[in-house]
Structure 1
Amino acid sequence: MYEKELTALKKAGRFRQPISSDFESIDMASNDYLGLAHKSKLLKLAFKKLSHYPYHAPKSSLFVGGYHPIHQEFEDALCKANQFEAGVVVGSGFLANLGLIEALVRRSDVLFIDESYHASGMVATKLVQGKVVLFKHNDPDDLLKKLNSTQLKGRRIIAVEGIYSMEGDMVRREFFEISEKFDALMIVDEAHSSGTVGPNLLGVFDHYNIKPNSLHIKMGTLGKAYGSYGAYILGSREIVSFLHNRAKSLIYATAPSLFDIALASTNFDYIMRKKEKLKRKIDRLKDQVRAKMGVYPEGMIVPVEIPDIETTMRIRDILKSQKFEVGAIRPPTVSKPILRIILRTSVKPKHYRKLFDQIDACLR
């Protein structure tokens, strides 16, 4: 039924299939930035936390008895650390962006969204009742131009990422200033910045020393630095209450897995306790990138642009044969193919030196 489409994808070099991680290879592809997915001690602590309760699954949605003390405990911890009034846990980052954007952008509102925003947000733009305006990637001047030239009757809402998942760059501070100037709600997707940037490893609010206010909304995932699965949204009490009542991905979905939230909570506590040590490891890895490539990464994502899809896949396979796992990202996810290298604190700096040397050799 879909043979022609699948054949076309294969010919274009865009065919995808699941890839299992090789336990014997050095993982430089996954988003497990802090290596917490490998810490069995934290896994056991999370299991112990959950075992104190009479059941181990949420059983229903948040609003039909599925809200559990484990959910609330984690929400409270996130709010306290990030200085937000309220929060809600969500089943995944995709569901968080989908529910957040679809719910907040009402009929008379305008959403201004970075053209490189995550696919989950772009899918959500197809569902909103209001108008959607794309602005150039991480370009505050283009956003200002479009804010000034777009008429509206309702709210302005700006959507950016803390660290962009493919480019690896950090949202510019000017966006926060623009949000204040135009009294615009600001959604910050911190999927790749929570746990990786800022003096307390809390993300870009922490990095820029910005105290959250009623205009700010922070979304983050638990499947990256926090070493689990799921997501969260932080905001004012009013915003979170509105999402409770309007976000379909919250209302019509089973509440997040109790074990995943218990694990994320355990891992978050670990990060807060060990943040200084983790920060030193992150800085050492970034120093390696600067030494080899002349650029100091803003986050933990290092994209290496490759001339074409065929070369991208060939180099990825060569690296794999040498026990280096990296991501090969192809259009339409990105405009030009890249090798996406993830800096992980559990990987020794010497392995990154070897990796970059090998990539250089393959490109000669």
Structure 2
Amino acid sequence: MRLWEEQLKIELLHLEKKTQRRRLHSIDFLNDSFIIMNGRKLLNLSSNNYLGLAGDKRLIEASIHATNKYGASSTASRLIVGNYSLYEHVETELARWKGTESALIFNSGYTANLGIISALVGRNDLVFSDKWNHASINDGIILSRAEMKRYLHNDLDHLEALLKKAPQHKRKLIVTDSVFSMDGDIAPLKGLVELKEKYGAILMVDEAHSIGVFGEGGKGLVHDIGLQEQVDVHVGTFSKSLGSFGAYVTGKQWLLDYFVNKMRSFIFTTALPPAVLGSIQAAIHIVQQESALRKQLHNYSKYFRTKLSGLGFNIGTSMTQIVPVIIGSNELTVQFSERLQERGIAAVSIRPPTVPKGTARIRFSLMATLSKDKLDWAINEIAAIGQEMRIIS
């Protein structure tokens, strides 16, 4: 065996010993609520399909229509010949929905954060990032070569202490998720706006888990609080509550022109296929019109959080449709997930390094299309397992 092969295999064994080795599972979708995994029919409490739109016939028909009209592939990057006319239509509708000058669509949330951050700042600049921000944000900072200052989660005092020490002549970027993907809590956006204005920083907010869920017409948490004019860079995805794929940034026209010219993950990648743009366009229309889905999701989320917390589970500071049950031990968390599957529930164990050491958890995420009786059944099963494993009394 060659040395590099031996080294990599040792790393895999090390992950196995720490119960941190990940494996792919083949999934078949039955409908909005159930999946088939490892041969079992499971209630899906692990999806980011918050409004249940991924299986909506209107999105599927829009995808087929776009494919028939434009073809199966964009054939090139957007700056070559991949910028087919559907892009302009969808971006115009997106900007109108978000009430902004301009919008730009990307291939994924990961490439959006990677490209935007590395375009905004460089090796002589500073980025102030919430400690619990998504990995794509951290990777974008690393790629930018700017100096990263991580502030304690949602701690405005710590952030201000770091900002005070920053040289005035350096460009400063504050970046945060609006809804945190592993804890389901929300960022103190008003306080972040105040600090960015006080210290002359750029404020970037990733609304991946709040777009479609919060605000009038599903515009997101920033709009819900009324801070859309104060946030400089609005980022979000179409792959969660909008049931499609891809990501976007909205803002001033000149800023988006800058991204078109400087954002490497935009410039050097093939454009999205027409089918995706078709489904995005349909989802934008539906999300604005069907507020009942959002209301149902919020009702279910509050009910689920209240029930689990009342049973004695540690759900952290969740305030949204993402509800963690924090267990701590990697081994116990994996066992909990396996027992859930045995009883018919898909809820994945999340372990370090995705979350901090000692905070392994089951990440539950709810959908508006669940039925109340299935949600109650799931709560009873979760409670039974928690008692069997002595996680709750």
The TM-score with structure 1 as length reference comes to: 0.94
Rounded to whole Å, the distance in 2 between the matches of 1:163 and 1:270 is: 22
SS in 1 for 2:103: strand
Which residue, out of 222, 225, 246, partners 1:230? 246
Q: Does 1:286 align with 2:292?
A: no
Once residues 216 and 113 of structure 1 are traced to their aligned partners in structure 2, the CA distance between those partners, rounded to angstroms, is 15
Q: Name the aligned partner's letter for residue 146 of structure 2.
A: G
Q: State the partner residue of 1:333.
A: 354
**1:50-83 deviations in whole A, cap 9, x for unaligned?**
4233x33211111112112221222111111112
Further displaced range: 185-194 or 347-356: 347-356
**Is structure 2 residue 126 aligned with structure 1 residue 120?**
no
CA separation in 2, counterparts of 1:283 and 1:300? 7
Corresponding residue of 1:11: 17
Same amino acid, percent of matched pairs? 27
**Structure 2 match to 1:145:** 161
Deviation at 1:290, TM superposition (A): 4.2
Q: What is the aligned partner in structure 2 of residue 301 from structure 1? A: 322
Q: Is the contact between residue 178 and residue 207 of structure 2 (CA under 8 Å) also seen in structure 1?
A: yes
Question: Do residues 196 (structure 1) and 213 (structure 2) align?
Answer: yes
Q: Deviations over 1:232-267 (max 9, x none)?
A: 111211221111111110011111222112111111
Whether the 8 Å CA contact 1:288–1:353 is kept in 2: the answer is no
**Which residue in 2 is equivalent to 1:81?**
97
> Across the two proteins, how many residue pairs are aligned to each other?
361
User: How far did residue 358 of structure 1 move?
Assistant: 2.3
Unaligned runs of 5+ in 2: 28-34, 388-393
Q: What letter corresponds to residue 215 of structure 2 in structure 1? A: G
Question: Is residue 48 from structure 1 mapped to residue 54 from structure 2 by the alignment?
Answer: no
Match of residue 321 from structure 1: 342
- Which of structure 1's runs of 4+ aligned residues deviate more than 4 A? 294-297
Q: Which runs of 5+ in 1 are unaligned?
A: none
- Distance in 2 between the 1:89 and 1:148 partners? 35
* 1:156-175 equivalence runs, <5 A: 156-172=172-188, 173-175=190-192
- The code of the aligned residue for 1:260 comes to V
Give the counterpart of 2:273 among 236, 252, 257. Answer: 257
Which piece of structure 1 moves more, 36-45 or 164-173? 36-45
Task: Output the aligned Cα RMSD.
Answer: 1.8
Question: Does 1:348 pair with 2:363?
Answer: no
Q: Which residue of 2 aligns with 1:72?
A: 88
CA drift of 1:177 comes to: 2.1
CA distance in structure 2 between the aligned counterparts of 1:148 and 1:240, rounded to whole angstroms: 29
1:108 touches 1:152 (CA, 8 Å); kept in 2? no
Q: Deviations over 1:283-306 (max 9, x none)?
A: 320231244025895321001101
Structure 1 pair 182–299 and aligned structure 2 pair: CA distance change class (3 A): same
For the residues of structure 1 that align with 2:299 and 2:369, how far apart are their CA atoms? 12
CA displacement 1:93-147 (0-9 Å, x = unmatched): 1100100111111343211111111111111221224322111111111111111
* 1:121-178 per-position Cα deviation (integer Å, ceiling 9, x unaligned): 1112212243221111111111111111122423211100010011111111211222
Give distance in 2, aligned partners of 1:132 and 1:224: 28
* SS class of match (2:286): helix
Preserved CA contact (<8 Å) 2:298 2:321: no
